[in-house]
Chain A
């Protein structure tokens, strides 16, 4: 909401300095967003008088003038055709800046003659398009006076943010009233004459649905002249950024911004019969003043005559009854439209208008007739003509909100003592009448405050006027804990996972929860993930997986010359757009160069064993202690079928995957390098929350450790893990560890065969193993491995 300081002072008698008013506005909840000192741009321009005027010796169209500017007389070369001796002019001294083109005036020789300063046209000063000649000021103006004073430009324009509850401050008067309540001066009542009207309005009004419009006041004017508005009115509207149109329209705008009372003026000669306020019919259409055709629906409030729709109640008038300069007879409307219905209609039709903005926030019912009175006075004054009596349909309800409160309630909420006396005094400054019985203070809320419904609202009024800076600061530390844990088990898991993954070289990214449906068919059912109003076409679904955005990140960074990627994200992905279908996932990618070629190392590239190791060590970190991790081949379709694995923990559901990105998917994302990925479904991890702080019992053996190596030739298809597990099975007590230390494939081994070598670590808890113990167990190991892998031991 914009207003000018001079406009404010029409409602507020004050001797408080402007800067204090500015601060107060913010401190009472009318946040100052911008201040424009209009006068500043004109501060250098003053009234001068042309003393002499003669021809320039070297130019036909230029004149040499001597100008009296009060403290001195200066020579000015001037090209204006209308300059003449004795004329009062607007003088721009050397150093001033011309508003229209920001040119700085310098002392200069013009065609060989010295010139100091300039005489200005309205165009040059940016106040109109008039540039045929310089401004001729009236004779009475005193030399040396500031020009901005004469043109009423010595003003400040203030823009404040109005929160949705403060409908009362959508007019300058309301702002003045709030400032007066806060001790910034005295509210002035505008003197408005009450015209009775000399005849009965020929246009009758009928409200068919009083739920959508409770009251409609109309007044007929005949023989008006819809001229251009007078300067004061045009300047007022211009100062707050409105374009003057014609007197009738300007007057309604003025009343809206002054009194927060939206009005409408119809060309009465274009109305057929009476005015009917009713709900629209489905399929009815209407051409509004914004020159757009709107399709109306049942329930929307229309103002109609007996033949057509004239306007959308509380939102916008229609083209058919719009006023022009030829308009002679008009009907002035001041009505009360339902807030919710106005909001609904405005939203459905996507019409933003000043009227809608005000009606959906609630209008002071008492402004209905006051608005008519103020507009009448101005119309008669500016446009002439005669007015009818006011025709009122419906009822202007005056049932004031009543709220009961007490100083103890207010004090308890605000955190400091507010006495009955102080409470009552603040309320009365706001126009809230009070009536105290015992501790209870009954408040009668004035009609302009539609936002005060309960005690909590009263507490806000009190602290707003008293000042938020007067709220004390209290300690909030508790004597005893109320929460057992700050983070729950699942939240801790997420945080641990994040730090662990970053510690093994991955950079954490945070990408949008949206993604492009075009590349996502493979990841989920995109039809279940649609956003109705996406921000752009390529962010049209909720992501079914973290990968698409991470793959895009790889592509982008590839273009920035990165050739090694270790990135991850921990976040949510979605199975559908139902609130419960959100999963927590950690997804990491390693792609490109693992170790750069260096004096010490050969260049190597990431492969699936890197991400497998990362995934299993992550699981190990998150679920410490004994667990069974098993790997199998069943991976989703975005993985390379032969180079990927799924991981189960303790034989329950699949908790994660690792592997190479399917070449087809890589291709879709235009990624050429092998991309190794892991995904961990954090919600699927078994809950291994610590139940005791004790660590498991530690059993140490001091007997000698023995290691033995074995090599087996097996089919390529047999998984190496089978060798390890079957070796372990040979003796669960003595075998402490089995590790693969060599793997090779060669035709000499036979077709489709490979050799796997394992190192087995043996130790007893009871004795040092003797040679015969060791050979006994070795045979068992060979037997077990050969049996379960159908392989043979190499000797």
Chain B
């Protein structure tokens, strides 16, 4: 009986000489090709019989498997050697770079979106009105008659068009949106109205154009404690702080009664304002219970319905939160400023993600 030992030795000898893929191929042909040694041996099996054939076949198949395995492992070995060589020659200077840049979102837009996000979560919707307003909507309907002293504090811009015999104005606050909305919608109402406002005033701390956000809640029960609750959630969320000293103090707006101004506590550490802590007070917004006369002016029964309103300056919120020191820089279009204080366009304020 043949024991194929010679064949095995030959295979071993041949397999030690591999230098490249071609030599593996030669090896394959030598043993497994049509006229290869193993193939020929296989053919001879037919001439054998019985046990001998069975034993030879078993042995030959084992040898064939070992050859296949040698081919596979050597191929792998050589391939990875080759790849290694190639990789060693393929180098780039990773310190070189190109850049992808984004534009920026203006801080005013950012803060408005933050405010909308917070109030949206409290089920307020966003209402709007035009920037040129009628005298009636801007003043009279808001319980500020033609000769009310409060009008003088507004430094109103006038335009040449008129409505009902009165010159139209550039709205001095976002409050006329209250009037427009209440004429359109019956209570319950929960809205905020961010937008541009205008006053004929231009100095270090005043800009002829600025932004406000108005809030209005009208239903059957909303009272001053809800107003306080509402502003507390808003301010804490907006300034991203759990600590918030908040102070309500009496004030006067013709369209609310009682009226209040709200201060928040702050301290100064170096050049930085820390909001929420400390003994010093910063005025942040005006608010109050909607005056019954305002409700009657928009045909809402003031015995049945009541509610509150508030208004605050967007620039002021932005300055306090983001440490911007000069109001007038917002509208200066200095690209150095915009690129520094602007926000990433991918950074959309969100309740689940980050507000800022």
Partners in one complex: yes
Interface residues of A (CB under 8 A from B): 26-29, 31, 163-166, 339-340, 343-344, 347, 360-361, 412-416, 454-457, 459-460, 463-464, 468-469, 471-478, 481-483, 485-488, 491, 495, 498-514, 530-536, 539, 542, 549-550, 552-553, 556-557, 560, 562, 565-568, 571-572, 574, 576-582, 598-601
Question: Contact flags (1/0) for B210-253 with A, using CB distance below 8 Å?
Answer: 00000001000111111011101100000000000001111110
Q: Which of B6-14, B53-61, B328-336 contacts A (4 or more CB under 8 A)?
A: B328-336
Q: Which of A478, A566, A572 contacts B103 (CB 8 A)?
A: A566
Question: Is B291 in contact with chain A by the CB < 8 A criterion?
Answer: yes
A403 to chain B, nearest CB (A): 12
Query: Is the pair B103, A166 in contact by a Cβ cutoff of 8 Å?
Result: no
Question: Is B126 in contact with chain A by the CB < 8 A criterion?
Answer: yes
Query: Is the pair B251, A163 in contact by a Cβ cutoff of 8 Å?
Result: yes
Known: A482-B123, A499-B345. A166 touches B252 (CB 8 A): yes
Query: Is the pair B132, A582 in contact by a Cβ cutoff of 8 Å?
Result: yes
Q: CA–CA, A600 to B98, complex, Å?
A: 8
Question: Is B23 in contact with chain A by the CB < 8 A criterion?
Answer: no
Within 8 A of A (CB), among B286-342: 289, 291-292, 306, 330-331, 333-336, 338-339, 342
Query: Is the pair A557, B128 in contact by a Cβ cutoff of 8 Å?
Result: no
Query: Is the pair B188, A482 in contact by a Cβ cutoff of 8 Å?
Result: yes
CB-defined contacts of A340 to chain B, threshold 8 Å: 146-147
Query: Is the pair B124, A533 in contact by a Cβ cutoff of 8 Å?
Result: no
CB-defined contacts of B24 to chain A, threshold 8 Å: none
CB-defined contacts of B224 to chain A, threshold 8 Å: 413-415, 463, 471
B313 to chain A, nearest CB (A): 14
Q: Which of B105, B167, B292 contacts A502 (CB 8 A)?
A: B105
CB-defined contacts of A412 to chain B, threshold 8 Å: 221, 223, 306
Q: Which of B102, B146, B190, B248 contacts A482 (CB 8 A)?
A: B190
Q: Which residue of B lies closest to A570 (CB)?
A: B109
B209 to chain A, nearest CB (A): 5
Question: Contact flags (1/0) for B96-116 with A, using CB distance below 8 Å?
Answer: 101001111110110001001
Question: Contact flags (1/0) for B257-269 with A, using CB distance below 8 Å?
Answer: 1111100000000
Query: Is the pair A508, B109 in contact by a Cβ cutoff of 8 Å?
Result: yes
Q: CA–CA, A88 to B134, complex, Å?
A: 70
Query: Is the pair B105, A499 in contact by a Cβ cutoff of 8 Å?
Result: yes
A580 to chain B, nearest CB (A): 7
Q: CA–CA, A532 to B96, complex, Å?
A: 58
CB-defined contacts of B170 to chain A, threshold 8 Å: 513, 531, 542
Q: Which of B161, B217, B230, B338 contacts A576 (CB 8 A)?
A: B161
CB-defined contacts of B41 to chain A, threshold 8 Å: none
Query: Is the pair B148, A499 in contact by a Cβ cutoff of 8 Å?
Result: no
CB-defined contacts of A542 to chain B, threshold 8 Å: 132, 159, 170
A533 to chain B, nearest CB (A): 6
Query: Is the pair A556, B226 in contact by a Cβ cutoff of 8 Å?
Result: no
Query: Is the pair B126, A488 in contact by a Cβ cutoff of 8 Å?
Result: yes
Query: Is the pair B225, A164 in contact by a Cβ cutoff of 8 Å?
Result: no
Using A29-B251, A415-B226, A565-B335 as known contacts, list a sample of 6 further A-B pairs with CB atoms less than 8 Å apart, ordered by residue number in A. Answer: A360-B147, A414-B223, A460-B258, A512-B331, A571-B196, A578-B161
Query: Is the pair B159, A164 in contact by a Cβ cutoff of 8 Å?
Result: no
CB-defined contacts of B46 to chain A, threshold 8 Å: none
Q: CA–CA, A412 to B292, complex, Å?
A: 14
Interface of B (DSSP majority class): mixed
Known: A511-B333, A579-B130. A164 touches B148 (CB 8 A): yes
Known: A464-B258, A473-B225, A567-B335. A510 touches B330 (CB 8 A): yes
Within 8 A of A (CB), among B153-197: 153, 157-161, 163, 167-168, 170, 188, 190, 196
CB-defined contacts of B259 to chain A, threshold 8 Å: 163, 460
Q: Which residue of B lies closest to A527 (CB)?
A: B160
Q: Which residue of A lies closest to B158 (CB)?
A: A532
Query: Is the pair B106, A509 in contact by a Cβ cutoff of 8 Å?
Result: yes
Q: Which residue of A lies closest to B196 (CB)?
A: A513
CB-defined contacts of A582 to chain B, threshold 8 Å: 130-132
Q: Which residue of A lies closest to B347 (CB)?
A: A499
CB-defined contacts of B132 to chain A, threshold 8 Å: 542, 574, 577-579, 581-582
Query: Is the pair B248, A474 in contact by a Cβ cutoff of 8 Å?
Result: no
Q: CA–CA, A481 to B331, complex, Å?
A: 37
Question: Is B125 in contact with chain A by the CB < 8 A criterion?
Answer: yes
Question: Is B122 in contact with chain A by the CB < 8 A criterion?
Answer: yes
Query: Is the pair A506, B103 in contact by a Cβ cutoff of 8 Å?
Result: yes
Query: Is the pair A483, B125 in contact by a Cβ cutoff of 8 Å?
Result: yes
Question: Is B205 in contact with chain A by the CB < 8 A criterion?
Answer: no
Q: Which of A339, A344, A502, A572 contacts B104 (CB 8 A)?
A: A502
Q: Which of B109, B226, B257 contacts A474 (CB 8 A)?
A: B226
CB-defined contacts of B131 to chain A, threshold 8 Å: 513, 572, 582
Closest 6 CB pairs of A and B: A415-B225, A29-B250, A163-B252, A502-B345, A460-B258, A553-B333
Query: Is the pair B102, A503 in contact by a Cβ cutoff of 8 Å?
Result: yes
Q: Which of A476, A485, A550 has the most chain B CB within a 10 Å cutoff?
A: A476
CB-defined contacts of A511 to chain B, threshold 8 Å: 331, 333
Known: A454-B292, A477-B122, A499-B345. A510 touches B223 (CB 8 A): no
